[in-house]
Amino acid sequence: MQILENTLQKMSNIDEPQRKCLLVLMTTLMLNRGKANYRNLNRYSEISEKSYCFTII
């Protein structure tokens, strides 16, 4: 995960809340098996279903 953290740190146009959300999202996508929908992302991570919708958009 260090590579992902370093890459997100280098991206200056991303704020800290978005950076944290993207880090959790990418980690969850790598560890999740099966479909990647909002319900499964909510099930296997600490961020709620609605937070993914608002943070990514």
Mean predicted confidence (pLDDT) in 20-44: 84
Average pLDDT of the residues in 23-52: 82
Query: Please, are residues 21 and 41 in contact by the beta-carbon 8 Å criterion?
Result: no
The answer on pLDDT for 55 being more than 70 is: no
Name residues whose C-beta falls within 8 Å of residue 32's C-beta, 6 or more positions apart in sequence: 40, 41, 44
Q: What is the mean pLDDT of residues 2-29?
A: 86
**Is the whole model's pTM more than 0.75, yes or no?**
no
Q: Is the confidence at residue 53, as pLDDT, over 70?
A: no
- List phi, psi (to 5°) of 33: -110, 140
